[in-house]
Structure 1
Amino acid sequence: METFVQPKITGYRQLNETEAALMNEIKAEGVKLGELVARLRATDGLDQRWVSIGATDLQTGLMALTRGVAQPTTF
């Protein structure tokens, strides 16, 4: 039986099971938020400028949460 070795990604440490589960949870919430943003963008009469600002801020927040778990060592 072949053993799978997780490749090393430059600037990132290997995540443990708890951290990987948290990353997957963040990613799943991102999918849900992306679907909400898509519905908002498809709704007439909304201020799409603010919808876009909200989408950007949500992406920034998800990225910050991901970096909080992954703790990259590079910029």
Structure 2
Amino acid sequence: MSDDKPKVKGYRQLTDAEIAAINKVKAKAEEVGELVEQLQMSGGLDQRAINIGKTELQTGFMWLTRGIAQPDSF
């Protein structure tokens, strides 16, 4: 971990391993997001349920990221 990395306000300095873990979460979120988009384009599906699923998935990925980053602010 390099000390010359700028600190993000409200976040502690992340290790290289933590940054890699967050990047893995974000990559998986993009993959899942593509699936959600495909489902949103499909006819005959319950789009309300799809949209609720999308929101819940976004929330889950956000919590995974927060769990790694452990911000010290609201």
TM-score strictly above 0.5: yes
Deviation at 1:7, TM superposition (A): 1.1
The answer for the alignment partner of 2:4 in structure 1 is: 5
The answer for the alignment partner of 2:30 in structure 1 is: 31
How far apart are the structure 1 equivalents of 2:54 and 2:47? 10
- What is the CA RMSD across the aligned residues, in angstroms? 1.2
Question: Structure 2: where are the runs of 5+ without partners?
Answer: none
Normalising by structure 2, we get a TM-score of: 0.93
Normalising by structure 1, we get a TM-score of: 0.92
Alignment of 1:1-75 (within 5 A): 5-75=4-74
How far apart are the structure 2 equivalents of 1:55 and 1:71? 24
Question: Structure 1: where are the runs of 5+ without partners?
Answer: none
Length, aligned pairs only = 72
Counterpart residue type for residue 64 of structure 2: L
Of 40-49 and 13-22, more deviation after overlay is shown by 13-22
Amino-acid identity (%): 53
How far apart are the structure 1 equivalents of 2:71 and 2:20? 17
Deviation at 1:5, TM superposition (A): 2.6
